[in-house]
Amino acid sequence: MKIYEAHSMGEMSRKAANIISAQVILYPHSVLGLATGSSPIGTYEQLADWYKKGDLDFSEVTTVNLDEYRGLDGSSEQSYRYFMNQHLFSKVNIKLERTHIPNGMAEDVEAECRRYDELIASLGGIDLQLLGLGHNGHIGFNEPSGAFEKTTHCVDLGESTIQANSRFFERMEDVPRQAITMGIKSIMQAKKILLIVGGEDKKEILHRSLFGPVTPNVPASILQLHPNLTVVSCNAL
Ligand code: F6R
């Protein structure tokens, strides 16, 4: 495990963007696993900036996102498809048809989960997976539970996750209670993992994730077993 401790959120975002840029420059056909939430916003801004300056080319890149809310379609401002379009995809020359996010509107959710796993397999897996960390230790929306869920699945979001997500919604009752998330196996099979974590409020959970026992009660703790994990943190270690 490599750990970089940044002195500011800006530095954290730049460092993470550096690592993603290196991947894209060295391997233009990379499959990037992407995350939403507040943690990667600065990183996406930085990547868009470097693209604008002519330093990056996303034309051959494919992306697979970690998760999507159940019941929101891509035109909904709170959906993760909308988030990705807004923060990254519309700002760089990625081909939209190469960007993949679970379909939160799928009627047959089991079939959608299977489709997503098959898609990831057909792409040859993920080269670099970007992750944020939930306050309860979730990665993607793999919530604390009795066992690690391996494959893409539909999850009932925990109370603390619903609370945390509510900051993006006007009314509490609008916050989705379910999401489709990539499973732990797909995440762990990524060739490289980049975890970005900022803020005092994540200190305790980051510590438990990186240095505590590996347990499905702290889903991120499984990352300790990954052979190529990079953690970029600010004020969280
Ligand atoms: C988002 C995701 C989540 C977030 C986590 C941290 O796609 O999968 O696991 O990474 O909830 O969220 P922020 O960055 O908003 O603190």
- Ligand 1 pocket, 140 CB below 6 A? yes
pLDDT tens over the chain, length 237 residues: 999 999 999 999 999 999 999 999 999 999 999 999 999 999 999 999 999 999 999 999 999 999 999 999 999 999 999 999 999 999 999 999 999 999 999 999 999 999 999 999 999 999 999 999 999 999 999 999 999 999 999 999 989 889 988 998 999 999 999 999 999 999 999 999 999 999 999 999 999 999 999 999 999 999 999 999 999 999 998
Give the E-state strand segments of 173-225 in sequence order: 178-181, 192-198
- Ligand 1 pocket, 183 CB below 6 A? no
**What is the tens place of the pLDDT at every residue in 79-138?**
999 999 999 999 999 999 999 999 999 999 999 999 999 999 999 999 999 999 999 999
Question: Is the CB of residue 62 less than 8 Å from the CB of residue 31?
Answer: yes
Maximal CA-CA distance, the chain = 47
Atom of ligand 1 nearest to the CA of 65: 7
Question: Is the CB of residue 67 less than 8 Å from the CB of residue 105?
Answer: no
User: What is the structure's pLDDT at 158?
Assistant: 87
pTM beyond 0.85: yes
Give the domains, in start order, of the chain with CATH numbers: 2-234 (3.40.50.1360)
Neighbours of 11 (CB within 10 A): 15
Residue 138 designated active-site: yes
Rounded CA gap, 133 and 131, in Å?
7
Phi-psi region of 215 (alpha: psi -120 to 50; beta: other; left: phi over 0): beta
- Ligand 1 pocket, 139 CB below 6 A? yes
Strand bridging mode 178-181 / 128-131: unpaired
> Which residues pair with residue 129 across a beta bridge?
33, 193
